Amino acid sequence: MHTVVVGTSGVTASDVLAVARDGARIELSGEAVAALAAAREIVDALAAKPEPVYGVSTGFGALASRHISPELRAQLQRNIVRSHAAGMGPHVEREVVRALMFLRLKTVCSGHTGVRPEVAQTMADILNAGITPVVHEYGSLGCSGDLAPLSHCALTLMGEGDAEGPDGVVRPAGELLAAHGITPVELREKEGLALLNGTDGMLGMLVMALADLETLYKSADVTAALSLEALLGTDKVLAPELHAIRPHPGQGASAANMLAVLKGSELTGHHQDDAPRVQDAYSVRCAPQVAGAGRDTLAHARTVAERELASAVDNPVVLPDGRVESNGNFHGAPVAYVLDFLAIAAADLGSIAERRTDRLLDKNRSHGLPPFLADDAGVDSGLMIAQYTQAALVSEMKRLAVPASADSIPSSAMQEDHVSMGWSAARKLRTAVDNLARIVAIELYAATRAIELRAGLTPAPASQAVIAAVRAVGVQGPGPDRFLAPDLEAADAFVRAGGVVTAVEPVTGPLA
């Protein structure tokens, strides 16, 4: 099994995906263990002093003015975890929780948190055992980080609360730890706070969304090309020289992808009366501009994610010169913004895909295709209601595009009076990504059927490869009406697995 080694300088997106989705094992580097021990010495020295130090010998948040005596500090750390583990609602997905825990471990190993090496090792042991704390949908305001979700994870570290075993069964965390030979942690000064105070949940969801959207944007370029081909559109608008004079990188990449897919097609540039096509509708002609803007948004979001993956987010932090300083780095605004940006871009990509699908189904605009791509229109309804489903998904995407980060709600007796809502932005983006995959799948279903209905004209080799691949997984072609939901589910699974990209790249070469 792949092993991810966690050091002091952060982790990569591929590390997060390996741990969250593929169950990769985790090891702590010698450098990380040394940094943990050095930072802990600083915290222990400060804890022994009579002067109060926030997070070490004081209360938290609005209660930071109280100095906590040494005999109560272990109880203080336990109490912050127990009281902050106040989430409600459905359980969050396993991959999200694993990403959340792994990213908190990443920050702990930076040597800036003051956590003991044995605490970090126990975090790694829990992940390696396949134990997943039960984390709930609601509870994070995205500042001071993802407090409630991280608290539920810390509760498992203490052997309390509930967790899911590697078999998927939820049991008391103490039982699961004992079954895997893991000793619960007794938290000391600062450690409870350090386990809770990060942007790890929203960052983990951002990293996974970026990976999914990268595949979906490539897939959407392919389905847009298939729709252009099925509509007998012109590929002249994809010429590199046209995109060079408006040099947005994403736009050029999308146009190049579409042009590669359409190479060798006999369908492009025709009309049902053999007259040349002058201009196609915006949803066809401007596909690279819309998808390209989304790609550039992805690039910006990736930059933010990379910076955050290299960060140590905690409050207070242990600095190399021995100071322990309060700060505001836990505020989730940088991550929250790009999560919202991605939801907006995904909604627009879904919207333009739905408009192309609708055009394929409308006999007045499809340039000779049968109504709703039906076998016997009137007797058969064809893909009429598949487009309804797509429209419903697009409508929800528009609602999900409303920014969460534009909202703020004060908490902690007005001490935490401006929050990021980044967790909420991440949760709605996950739904948006799921919906976008379904929308692209429906366009794929309609476009492949429409191409097959264009008798006498040979589609591009890349198009033929996609059609063959999607038919091979059980997505049926033209014919009389049938139970449609299984076909749509199969198309959705094909898109999510990257089947569209896998099918075309042997023909086109790697897509941008």
Q: Annotated catalytic sites, by residue?
A: 54
**Which among 478, 267, 456 has a CA at the least distance from the CA of 373?**
478
Query: For residue 101, what are the contacts with CB-CB under 8 A and spacing of at least 6?
Result: 123, 126, 127, 133, 153, 200
Q: Taking the CB of residue 245, how many other CB atoms lie within 10 A of it? A: 6
Separation of CA 259 from chain center: 28
In order, the DSSP letters of 174-205 are HHHHHHTT-PPP---TTHHHHHH-S-HHHHHH
Q: Kindly report the CA angle at 179 between 173 and 180, in degrees rounded to 5? A: 95
Q: Pull the structure tokens for residue 433.
A: 């990504």
331 contact partners, CB below 8 Å, separation of at least 6? 142, 143, 144, 419, 420
Structure tokens at 253: 């990449």
Distance CA 38, CA 28 (A): 15
The secondary structure of 297-339 as a DSSP string is HHHHHHHHHHHHHT----SSEE-TTS-EE---TT--HHHHHHH
Neighbouring C-alpha atoms within 13 Å toward the C-beta of 263: 13
Amino acid identity for residue 457 in this structure: L
Report how far apart, in Å, the C-alpha atoms of 511 and of each of 221, 222, 291 are: 9, 10, 14
